[in-house]
């Protein structure tokens, strides 16, 4: 099949959005001929270097950026969003011209994973796959009591931007034109249905490479008297690390440590919280580490704690599962989809007091039961290998494409 992909963010050997764009394109090219629309600004050099090392004749990249002030996306968050929108408009005209030459079978919007922005390649006269997209997740209002004024403003502006996007006629047209909308969470599924999508599937965006899975599968399952909990990510208010620290303090586990990896605007506040709760000697802040160092710390830990309040993806949860570590998270967003009762413990998120109390109980349970940790960890490894690797996603998408193209041809013939 001849597949057109829109990937505003696309770069090899990266996580998050650039990693999604690259890995989906790479895996699809094993079974299809793939053209990728992307920007030259960030990933072109890395893409061309990777293709020089590992040639893939089925994978073609079409680079372009806005003809006037193409680099203004660097001027701030508002400029970035505007640049993304205008680039999507330009992508349609590039795609339309390319379609006349190639005659694509299907178009697929891959990145950004943002449900409230349109993808203009949906206007091409071929089946269109939207996503995986996300972003409709929001921190439950009772948790706002712990947010700083700056954090509350962030949440308000974020919600406002999505509501405006939902009412954009082109975003609604994208939803209506999609043969299938793949979304990260139930929250996003609800919103894209309101926008007009008729077929919606909840599918996590994140996955890991076979190389990473194989590497982390070698991490031994630890069974030591000193139990280490670990959290990894940017230290931002909505990541919920303050809930993790409060729960660790309430659990009162003298033979346990809580390691926090990452940096961000909440770092000083979190350190102060650990001091106020009397656990500063057992809560260790490692700062932002290189990936190899991060994985080394994960291998020395027993349980991954991820109390995020609105995470679409939850990549670290997959890394924790691949490493054989049980996951302790809130039953929200992407982690709420990825983590099951076989691979970890999901805690309801009604209010901060209840969440902290339940997280603390789960910490005690996991700290005291090595057999439970082992069972959950092994199940996590098996789940990642089966469902959350990029090869599996490439095969799944190829099958979906085939079904949609056949359906479209039948409809056209009728």
Per-residue pLDDT of the chain (414 residues; tens, 9 = 90+): 999 999 999 999 887 888 899 999 999 999 999 999 999 887 899 999 999 999 999 999 999 988 766 565 566 567 778 888 999 999 999 999 999 999 999 999 999 889 999 999 999 999 999 989 999 999 999 999 999 999 999 999 999 989 999 999 999 999 999 999 999 999 999 999 999 999 999 988 888 988 899 999 999 988 888 999 999 999 999 999 999 999 999 999 999 999 999 999 999 999 999 999 999 999 999 999 998 999 999 999 999 999 999 988 778 999 999 999 999 999 998 899 899 999 999 999 999 999 999 999 999 999 999 999 999 999 999 999 988 999 989 999 999 999 999 987 777 666
Q: Are 258 and 283 in contact (CB under 8 A)?
A: yes
| E strand map for 147-291 | 180-183, 200-202, 227-232, 256-261, 283-287
Pairing state between β 180-183 and 128-133: parallel
Q: Are 32 and 58 in contact (CB under 8 A)?
A: yes
What are the residues facing 133 on neighbouring strands?
A: 183
Element (DSSP H or E) covering residue 260? strand 256-261
Q: Are 250 and 222 in contact (CB under 8 A)?
A: no
- Say how far apart CA 307 and CA 273 lie, in whole Å: 16
- Say how far apart CA 21 and CA 399 lie, in whole Å: 19
Q: Are 216 and 295 in contact (CB under 8 A)?
A: yes
pLDDT at 414: 61
Q: Are 24 and 397 in contact (CB under 8 A)?
A: yes
Architecture of domain 2-204+389-413: 3-Layer(aba) Sandwich (3.40)
What are the residues facing 358 on neighbouring strands?
A: none
Tallying the residues shown for the chain, one arrives at 414
Q: Give the residue from 92, 88, 95 showing the smallest Cα distance to 168.
A: 88
Pairing state between β 106-111 and 128-133: parallel
| E strand map for 20-165 | 33-38, 59-63, 106-111, 128-133
- Say how far apart CA 114 and CA 171 lie, in whole Å: 10
- Say how far apart CA 223 and CA 369 lie, in whole Å: 10
Joined tokens for residue 21: 């764009």
Q: How far apart, in Å, are the Cα atoms of 385 and each of 211, 233, 372, 379, 389?
A: 11, 23, 20, 10, 6
- Say how far apart CA 132 and CA 183 lie, in whole Å: 5
* DSSP label of 145: G
Joined tokens for residue 78: 């508002």
Q: Are 310 and 333 in contact (CB under 8 A)?
A: yes
Phi, psi values for residue 286, rounded to 5°: -100, -5
Q: Are 306 and 345 in contact (CB under 8 A)?
A: no
Count CB atoms within 10 A of the CB of residue 323. 26
Residue with tokens 């999901």: 346
Q: Are 309 and 140 in contact (CB under 8 A)?
A: yes
Joined tokens for residue 372: 């439970």
- Say how far apart CA 360 and CA 367 lie, in whole Å: 10
* DSSP label of 304: E
Q: Give the residue from 292, 209, 213 showing the smallest Cα distance to 22.
A: 209
Phi, psi values for residue 132, rounded to 5°: -80, 135
Helices (H), ranges, 5-76: 16-28, 44-53
- Say how far apart CA 270 and CA 243 lie, in whole Å: 10
Q: Are 35 and 62 in contact (CB under 8 A)?
A: yes
* pTM of this structure: 0.89
Architecture of domain 210-387: 3-Layer(aba) Sandwich (3.40)
Q: Are 191 and 131 in contact (CB under 8 A)?
A: no
Within the chain, which residue ranges are assigned CATH 3.40.50.2000?
Answer: 2-204+389-413, 210-387
């Amino acid at each position: 099949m001849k597949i057109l992909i829109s990937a505003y963010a696309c770069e090899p050997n990266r996580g998050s959005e650039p990693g999604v764009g690259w890995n989906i394109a790479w895996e699809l090219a094993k079974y299809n001929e793939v053209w990728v629309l992307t920007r030259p600004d960030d990933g072109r050099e890395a893409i061309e270097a990777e293709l020089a090392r590992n040639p893939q004749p089925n994978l073609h990249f079409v680079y372009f950026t806005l003809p006037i002030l193409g680099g203004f996306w660097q001027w701030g968050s508002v400029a970035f969003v505007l640049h993304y929108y205008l680039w999507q408009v330009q992508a349609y005209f590039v795609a339309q011209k390319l379609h006349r030459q190639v005659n694509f079978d299907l178009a697929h919007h891959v990145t950004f994973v943002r449900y409230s922005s349109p993808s203009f390649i949906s206007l091409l006269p071929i089946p269109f796959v939207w996503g995986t997209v996300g972003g409709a997740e929001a921190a439950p209002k009772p948790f706002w009591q712990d947010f700083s004024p700056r954090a509350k403003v962030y949440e308000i502006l974020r919600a406002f931007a999505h509501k405006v996007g939902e009412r954009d006629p082109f975003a609604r047209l994208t939803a209506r034109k999609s043969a299938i909308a793949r979304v990260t969470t139930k929250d996003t599924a609800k919103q894209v249905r309101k926008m007009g999508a008729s077929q919606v599937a909840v599918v996590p965006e994140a996955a890991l490479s076979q190389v990473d899975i194989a590497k982390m599968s070698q991490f031994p399952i630890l069974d030591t008297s000193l139990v280490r909990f670990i959290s990894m990510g940017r230290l931002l208010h909505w990541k919920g690390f303050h809930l993790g620290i409060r729960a660790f303090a309430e659990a009162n586990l003298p033979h346990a440590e809580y390691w926090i990896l990452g940096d961000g605007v909440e770092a000083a506040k979190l350190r102060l919280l650990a001091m106020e709760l009397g656990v500063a000697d057992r809560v260790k802040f490692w700062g932002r580490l290189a990936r190899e160092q991060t994985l080394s710390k994960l291998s020395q830990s027993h349980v991954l704690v991820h109390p995020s309040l609105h995470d679409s993806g939850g990549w670290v949860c997959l890394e924790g599962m691949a490493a054989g570590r049980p996951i302790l998270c809130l039953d929200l967003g992407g982690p709420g989809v990825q983590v099951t009762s076989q691979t970890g413990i999901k805690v309801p998120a009604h209010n901060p007091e209840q969440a902290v109390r339940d997280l603390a109980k789960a910490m005690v349970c996991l700290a005291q039961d090595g057999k439970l940790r082992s069972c959950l960890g092994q199940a996590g490894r098996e789940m990642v290998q089966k469902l959350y690797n990029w090869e599996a996603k490439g095969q799944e998408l190829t099958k979906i494409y085939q079904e949609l193209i056949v359906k479209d041809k039948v409809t056209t013939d009728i």
